[in-house]
Amino acid sequence: MTKTEENLRAAFAGESQANRRYLAFAERAEREGYPEVSRLFRAAAESETVHALFHLRIMKEVKSTKENLETAITGETYEYEKMYPEFIEVAQAEGNKAAVRSFSYAKDVEIGHAERYKEGLESVKDGRDLEPTDYFVCQICGYIVAGETLETCPICGSPREKFKTIG
Ligand code: FE2
Ligand code: FE2
Ligand code: FE2
Which ligand ends up closest to the CA of 109?
Answer: 2
Give the residue among 150, 146, 167 at the shortest CA–CA distance from 158: 150
SS3 152: strand
CA–CA dist 110, 92 (Å, integer) = 20
Whole-Å CA distances, 87 to 101, 103, 107: 11, 7, 10
CA–CA dist 128, 113 (Å, integer) = 19
CA of 51 to the centre of ligand 2 (A): 22
Instruction: Give the pLDDT of residue 72.
Output: 98
CA–CA dist 166, 27 (Å, integer) = 20
* Beta-strand runs (E) in 16-140: 135-138
CA of 139 to the centre of ligand 3 (A): 7
Which ligand ends up closest to the CA of 141?
Answer: 3
CA of 143 to the centre of ligand 3 (A): 5
Instruction: Give the pLDDT of residue 148.
Output: 86
CA of 137 to the centre of ligand 3 (A): 8
Which amino acid would we find at residue 24?
A
CA of 63 to the centre of ligand 3 (A): 31
Give the residues across from 136 on adjacent strands.
Answer: 145, 165
Task: Express each pLDDT in 135-150 by its tens digit.
Answer: 999 999 999 999 988 9
Instruction: Give the pLDDT of residue 109.
Output: 98
**Residue stretches of the chain with pLDDT short of 50:** none
Contact indicator for 133, 120 with CB cutoff of 8 Å = no
